[in-house]
Each structure stands twice: as C-alpha cells, then as structure tokens.
Homo-oligomer: A and B are copies of this chain.
Amino acid sequence: MPPKILVVDDEPNILSTLAPLLRTRGYEVSTAMNGRSAIEAVEHEKPDLIVLDLGLPDIDGVDVCRAIRETMSVPILILSARGAETDKVRALDVGADDYVTKPFGAEELLARVRAALRRADAPPPASEPIVRAGLVIDRERFRVVRDGDEVRLTPKEFELLVFLAQHPGRVLTHRTILKAIWGANAVDQPEHLRVLIGALRKKIEPIPSTPKYILTEPWVGYRFADD
C-alpha cells in the first residue's frame, strides 16, 4: 500500500495544487483546512507524513505541530510563507522534520517528501500495474495475470513484456528491443529476440499462433496491441 500523506493548508489553491501532484506520484492523500481537523485527521488516519502550513485560521501551526508530536512520531514537513530564521528555529525545535518556505519548487518539495519518508522507513510509492485488455502486469510483484489466471514468466520474458507493454500501439524495432533487453552488444543478434518472443507468446497468448497482444510487424519489429 502506498504511503499516506496528510496535507494541511487553509488556502484552497495550494491544496488543489499539492494534493493532485502528490496523488500522481503514487501517494494516498487526505487534506485538512484548519488545525482542529488536522489533529483529528492525524489520530484517525495515521498518515505516514504530514505537510503542514503554518498559517492556519484557528490554531497556530507550531502548536499543531507540538500537539501531533506529543502523540505520534510521524514526520512533519512545515510549509510557510514566513522565512524568518526565528520561525524556522521555533518550528524545527518543537518537532518538525523540515521547513520549506513559499514559494517553493514542486520537485524540491517532492524530494523532501521522499527524503522524509525514506528516513521513516516507508516503502517508495507503488508503481501502478499496467493493465491492457485482460492482462495485468504488476511490476512490483513481478506478476502477470491474464483473465484471472496467474502466468509465471522468467525475468527476461517479464522484462520484454514490460518494455513492449509500456509503448502500446507503437512499433518497436528489433534493434531497439535488443538494445533494451540485451544491451548494445546484442543489436545484431535478432535470433535472441525471436526465441524470447516465442516463449512469451506461448505463455500469455490464448492462441500463440495468432497473437492478440504481441503483434509482428514484418521486417521492422514488434508491436503491443493497443485495442
């Protein structure tokens, strides 16, 4: 399961920027718009990380931070418009883990989120499985499921399938695939590719002789069906 992040801010436009951004990076995001509901949400949802704006309408952000710290050891990343040194010192000393001043770069914030989660020992956000017409490719579990049945693939087969499925509809040349799977030294050995394609089709195609997923583009390469 992906890490849960609680974002606390009273400005709607920050919330509506930050929450979707974090979601697209694979995190599960919940939000709060004031101190009281933030503290409640922490108790209730047990997030893996908290992004907390200091300028809240009801309670001072520093007090929110302190209140959370008294009950949980979840990492807290402070967001603030005030860049004065005393503000930073105060927040960090009551238990905040990091302090970022607005305006901030999105990638920097994400990197600091990753750093904080890494320290707290949370697993990196899950990479979503690839789903294509009855075929589920789970990179995290090295698993492929076709119409409910699990298919066992070897590492090379799996690597090839992922590479093809990542570019559905697009024709990938022999050269491109060989370079991706076997490295640049193998670009002139297409027999490797033919054999591996055969093995893969045998396992994932309902009728290997008339492929449904992995289509041959004669004289050029192969193509993953995009239906």
Contact = CB atoms under 8 A, between A and B. Distances in A.
Interface string A76-112: 0000000001101100110111100000010110111
Interface string A197-227: 0000000000000000000011110010000
Contact of A125 (B73, B169, B218): B73
Interface residues of A, number: 43
Contacts of A72: 126
A122 interface: yes
Contact of A171 (B89, B140, B223): B140
A154 interface: yes
Interface of A: 72-73, 85-86, 88-89, 92-93, 95-98, 105, 107-108, 110-112, 114-115, 118-123, 125-126, 140-142, 154-155, 166-167, 169-171, 217-220, 223
Given A123-B167, A123-B170, 14 more contacts: A85-B105, A85-B107, A86-B107, A88-B108, A92-B111, A92-B112, A92-B114, A93-B115, A97-B115, A97-B119, A121-B166, A142-B171, A142-B220, A155-B220
